[in-house]
Structure 1
Amino acid sequence: MRVLVTGADGFVGRHACAALRAAGDEVVEVHGPRGEGISSTALHFDIADEAKVKAAVSEVKPDSVLHLAGFSSVAKSHQNPARVFAVNTMGVVHLLTALRESAPKARVLLVGSGEVYGPVAEGTLAKEGHPHVPLSPYAASKSAGELAGEQFFRSYGMEVILARPFNHLGAGQDPTFVVPSFAAQIRAIALGTVDPILRTGNLDAIRDFSHVKDVVDAYRLLLLKGEAGQAYNVGSGEGRTIRSLLEEMLQLSGVQARIELDPARLRPSDIPSLVADTGKLRALGWAPRLTVADALRDVLGPRVGSN
């Protein structure tokens, strides 16, 4: 299939494009404004620019769209809510409007976030029917983007599928995210360039972690078999504290360090526990192939974690 991948120059986008090509798909990459020069064959535009989105979709006329472009930081979303909604919500509207005009039969996977559920009682899995209780501009903008997708499905019969990924890990993730931040600090400690002190935010939060390669496999499956108008959680279905990940990373690396709370790394609002019910996705035939330990080794890289 001919797949238009927005956000192709991002962490997940790079893994997704590789997986789609390995499966034999034709991939047309869309890079954001900061992706200029990375690829001479990719399209470059801001998903919040309606005119450029329309022009690109009219040119490509894709069979399928994997929509990954977006503002991805929960923590930073509190600093610029207007930009977050312009990208994560209006970007969806621009894309679907353009597809309705130029490629109305394309199957579209809108990648949202499990953050839309907000707080879920510890020991309870978030199901797709769970109400949305967003605690950040990021989560609210993703929820609003989903509403737009549902409206285009209901009103115009477009093949829109919703993915709600939970936390995913792997090589190439921005160091502003928690696990790559730990990895950068661990590498620096291992090299002896800093004191053996690891600075962290809240380590008691419980999250659902998956390897990014399993996540992108789920996305391709949803493009092929997902039911239009439906939402699918993408995760492991297992909860772990951030602290347990950090302890495993230290064990894998052989590094010893003192852990210190850094108030600057705490979010204005945080969710104590968020774990996915993945029954709908698994019913389509998906199951994870890789482990969290595999992902942590990939994040740590070849210089660390060879024990």
Structure 2
Amino acid sequence: MRILVTGADGFVGKHLCRHLRDDGADVFEFRGPEIPGPMNIELTDGEAVARAVHEVRPEGVVHLAGFSSVAQSHADPARAFAVNVLGTVNILAALRKSAPAARTLVVSSGEVYGKIPEGQRATETSPLEPSNPYAASKAAAETAAIQFFRGYGLPVVVARPFNHLGAGQAAHFVVPSFARQLLAIRAGKSEPRLEVGNLEPVRDFSHVGDVVEAYRLLLLRGAAGEAYNVASGTGRTILSVLGELRTLVGVDVEPTVSPERFRPAEIPYLVGDAAKLRALGWQPKRTVTEALRDVIEEVTAL
């Protein structure tokens, strides 16, 4: 199967491309525009996207590329909407023209649900109440994807992943940031000061390996026009994840809360229900502890 992966050079993209190739797929990678190249695409350039999709003519597409930082979306909401919404529309429009039968997975986010009642799990029928520019742009991209399904018959599926961890995540995300600080302290390269933001929010964490297996399954078997949560169903505070990371690294240092690391409009509790995905045969195989060990190993090797 000829599969096009956008955002192939990103955290999840690298894991996904490897997983798809291991399964025998012929994978074509769209990367970011920072380095010039025929497959290094600026998603907001509709003509460039159209040319690249026409050249590949994929049978399947996983659209991962986008503006991925909640924190940075507050600083640059226009860029978040341009990349996540216009970029998605450009991909879908190019597919409609050059590969209308290609099964397409548009990757959204569990953030689209916004705040949910504590102790409950968001399901695919829960209302979408995004509370930050990143989430709002993802919700808008979902709307565009479903319109292309309803209006033009494109076989589009939407994934709503919750938080996921593992090797390869950018340093500004919370767990890699913690790991870098702790390992620098352990090595004597920095003062025993661990700067953190709000540690109270509860989140639903999965291993990135389980997430990419979910994406492959949804690409092949997800129902067109439907959305699927990708989630563990278990909530943990950021504080508990930090505590486990400190134990794994072997550094006993108390965190120092830095107000500048707090996000506006923080969601206090966000946990997902993946029963719909599990009904397709998906089962998590890996633990958060394994993901934290992968992060530690990667940062140690730097």
TM-score category, normalised to shorter length:
over 0.9
Q: Which consecutive residues of structure 2, in runs of 5 or more, have no partner in the other structure?
A: none
**Match of residue 174 from structure 1:** 170
What is the alpha-carbon distance in structure 2 between the residues aligned to residue 202 and residue 119 of structure 1?
16
Report the alpha carbon displacement of residue 191 of structure 1 after superposing the two structures with TM.
0.6
Q: Is the 8 A contact 2:193 2:255 kept in 1?
A: yes
Other structure's SS at 2:233 match: coil
Does structure 1 residue 220 correspond to structure 2 residue 216? yes
What is the alpha-carbon distance in structure 1 between the residues aligned to residue 234 and residue 114 of structure 2?
17
Q: Is the 8 A contact 1:165 1:215 kept in 2?
A: yes
Report the alpha carbon displacement of residue 36 of structure 1 after superposing the two structures with TM.
4.3
Other structure's SS at 2:217 match: helix
What is the alpha-carbon distance in structure 1 between the residues aligned to residue 15 and residue 252 of structure 2?
31
Q: Give the counterpart letter for 1:24 in structure 2.
A: G
What is the alpha-carbon distance in structure 2 between the residues aligned to residue 181 and residue 69 of structure 1?
22
Matched ranges for 1:67-106 at <5 A: 67-106=63-102
* Partner deviation per Cα, 1:67-106 (whole Å, 9 max, x = no partner): 0000000000011111111100011111100100000000
Report the alpha carbon displacement of residue 289 of structure 1 after superposing the two structures with TM.
0.8
What is the alpha-carbon distance in structure 2 between the residues aligned to residue 172 and residue 302 of structure 1?
8
Q: Give the counterpart letter for 2:77 in structure 1.
A: P
The alignment's TM-score, normalised by the length of structure 1, stands at 0.96
Out of 107, 110, 113, the residue aligned to residue 111 of structure 1 is 107
* Partner deviation per Cα, 1:234-265 (whole Å, 9 max, x = no partner): 01110000000000001111111121101111
Q: Is the 8 A contact 1:9 1:35 kept in 2?
A: no
Other structure's SS at 1:233 match: strand
**Match of residue 289 from structure 1:** 285
What is the alpha-carbon distance in structure 2 between the residues aligned to residue 155 and residue 261 of structure 1?
49
Q: Which consecutive residues of structure 1, in runs of 5 or more, have no partner in the other structure?
A: none
What is the alpha-carbon distance in structure 2 between the residues aligned to residue 155 and residue 293 of structure 1?
44
What is the alpha-carbon distance in structure 2 between the residues aligned to residue 235 and residue 300 of structure 1?
23
Q: Give the counterpart letter for 2:11 in structure 1.
A: F
Does structure 1 residue 254 correspond to structure 2 residue 239? no
What is the alpha-carbon distance in structure 2 between the residues aligned to residue 299 and residue 141 of structure 1?
28
Q: Give the counterpart letter for 1:8 in structure 2.
A: A
Matched ranges for 1:1-307 at <5 A: 1-36=1-36, 43-301=39-297
The alignment's TM-score, normalised by the length of structure 2, stands at 0.98
Q: Give the counterpart letter for 2:5 in structure 1.
A: V
* Partner deviation per Cα, 1:248-297 (whole Å, 9 max, x = no partner): 00111111112110111100110000001000000000011100000000
Report the alpha carbon displacement of residue 158 of structure 1 after superposing the two structures with TM.
0.7
Q: Give the counterpart letter for 2:290 in structure 1.
A: D
Percent of counterpart pairs with the same letter? 58
Cα 1:259/1:129, change in 2 over 3 Å: same
Q: Is the 8 A contact 1:112 1:164 kept in 2?
A: yes
What is the alpha-carbon distance in structure 2 between the residues aligned to residue 103 and residue 86 of structure 1?
23
What is the alpha-carbon distance in structure 1 between the residues aligned to residue 85 and residue 40 of structure 2?
19
Q: Is the 8 A contact 2:5 2:17 kept in 1?
A: yes
What is the alpha-carbon distance in structure 1 between the residues aligned to residue 192 and residue 293 of structure 2?
20
What is the alpha-carbon distance in structure 1 between the residues aligned to residue 95 and residue 19 of structure 2?
24
Other structure's SS at 1:34 match: coil
What is the alpha-carbon distance in structure 1 between the residues aligned to residue 76 and residue 299 of structure 2?
36
Q: Is the 8 A contact 1:196 1:256 kept in 2?
A: no
What is the alpha-carbon distance in structure 2 between the residues aligned to residue 15 and residue 64 of structure 1?
17
